């Protein structure tokens, strides 16, 4: 009986830094919108244990998942700011698209 297969089967999926950042951003977005529940929602959506997500959040915020620690300018704070800016940009681009449509329609009517 080979022990190699048991060793390999004990290893879980490895996530890239990009994937981790996406999941952390999702957690922070849900928490910002609802006040809590981001880890649970991410766990269900991405099929990852809450313990894994919690460890990523702690690593991203320098060892604590509290709001105070994420305001120190660490990875979690920067990631949260990026996520917020991306949402603002997306909203602004949608609004710009609507304005361009109105502009084009008015221009055609001249």
Distance between CA atoms of 103 and 110, rounded to whole angstroms? 11
Distance between CA atoms of 76 and 73, rounded to whole angstroms? 8
Q: How confident is the model at residue 17 (pLDDT cuts 50, 70, 90)?
A: confident
- Residue 48 pLDDT > 70: yes
Q: How far is CA 80 from CA 24, 29, 96, in A?
A: 8, 8, 24
User: Per-residue pLDDT tens for 82-103?
Assistant: 877 888 888 899 999 999 999 9
Listed residue (52, 67, 62, 68) closest to 20, CA to CA: 52
Q: How confident is the model at residue 74 (pLDDT cuts 50, 70, 90)?
A: low
How many helices (H) does the chain have, and how many strands (E)?
Answer: 6, 0
Q: How confident is the model at residue 60 (pLDDT cuts 50, 70, 90)?
A: confident
SS3 state at 74? coil
Give the mean pLDDT of the chain: 80
Q: What's the pTM?
A: 0.49
**What is the structure's pLDDT at 96?**
95
């Amino acid at each position: 009986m080979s022990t190699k297969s048991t060793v390999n089967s004990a290893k879980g999926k490895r996530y890239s830094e990009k994937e981790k950042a996406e999941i952390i951003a999702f957690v922070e977005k849900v928490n910002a919108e609802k006040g809590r529940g981001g880890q649970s929602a991410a766990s269900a959506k991405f099929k990852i244990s809450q313990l894994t997500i919690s460890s990523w959040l702690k690593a991203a915020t320098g060892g604590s998942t509290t709001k105070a620690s994420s305001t120190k300018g660490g990875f979690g704070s920067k990631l949260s700011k990026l996520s917020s800016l991306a949402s603002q940009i997306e909203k602004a681009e949608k609004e710009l698209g609507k304005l361009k449509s109105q502009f084009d329609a008015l221009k055609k009517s001249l």
